[in-house]
Amino acid sequence: VKECTKKDEL
Amino acid sequence: MNIFRLAGDLSHLLAIIILLLKIWKTRSCAGISGKSQVLFAIVYLTRYLDLFTTYISLYNSIMKIVFIAASGATLYLMYVKFKATYDHNHDSFRIEFLLIPCVILALIINHDFTVMEILWTFSIYLESVAILPQLFLVSKTGEAESITSHYLFALGSYRALYLLNWIYRYMAESHYDLIAIFAGVVQTILYCDFFYLYITKVLKGKKLQLPA
């Protein structure tokens, strides 16, 4: 599992 | 987008609408902390700078614009239009005690040492504690109007629902963001005492009154 930092949340 | 995330966003939107309607209908912002509202405005402005750099979806962009606009409208109503009703004396929380640690923490613990990333991280940390001046005001006056309680409940539920969303995303998509999760847990914990009072008092038709 890789930490994802894509900011698709509010 | 899963059901928890959507419910969280709608709860957040509902909270903002309740607050605006309360102030507009009663022509008063009594019982509302202007300092918390200033902190929320800072949160939205620093987090949603990516409106200019990254397109995610129409939903995402519209929600960000609505949050910023509603936050600006709330500040206008509190500090300009209905300024006379603002509860100055009770809203005495020192926000620098929140702002400064959040800046420092964002500079130390972040995903990437870039301006955008540090501002995003700062906004996540700040959001987690931005409600403290409001809770402080409620504890100082010892009570909250029902409508203010509904606002706080919707606002607190939003991050609690996001926690469920993060659990879901971790299991379904192997997606997680430790900074958001840590801050989200802190944020939700800060509301626990209020949630308890809301469920045991406000939902039974009583006014939210703190024990003397």
In a domain, B196, yes or no: yes
Cα–Cα distance, B131 to B133 (Å, whole number): 6
In a domain, B184, yes or no: yes
CA distance B177 to chain A (A): 6
In a domain, B210, yes or no: no
ipTM of the complex: 0.82
- Nearest Cα to Cα of residue B96 among B88, B107, B104, B87: B104
In a domain, B121, yes or no: yes
Average pLDDT, chain B: 96
The answer to whether the Cβ–Cβ distance between A8 and B56 falls below 8 Å is yes
In a domain, B212, yes or no: no
Domains held by chain B: number: 1
Q: How many CB atoms lie within 10 A of CB B108?
A: 8
In angstroms, the Cα distances linking B67 to A10, B9, B24, B94, B141 are 9, 10, 17, 24, 28
Residue numbers in chain A where pLDDT is lower than 70: 1-6
Q: What is the pLDDT of residues B154-211, one digit of tens each?
A: 999 999 999 999 999 999 999 899 999 999 999 999 999 999 999 998 889 888 888 7
The answer to whether the Cβ–Cβ distance between B162 and A9 falls below 8 Å is yes
Domain coverage including residue B163: 3-204
Q: Give the 3-state secondary structure of residue B51.
A: helix
Q: How far is CA B78 from the centre of its chain?
A: 17
CA distance B210 to chain A (A): 32
The answer to whether the Cβ–Cβ distance between A10 and B50 falls below 8 Å is no
In a domain, B211, yes or no: no
B16 DSSP assignment: H
In a domain, B179, yes or no: yes
| Residue B144, strand partner residues | B208
In a domain, B209, yes or no: no
The answer to whether the Cβ–Cβ distance between A1 and B64 falls below 8 Å is no
- Of A2, A4, A8, nearest to B60 by CB-CB distance is A8
Residue of B nearest to A7 (CA): B56
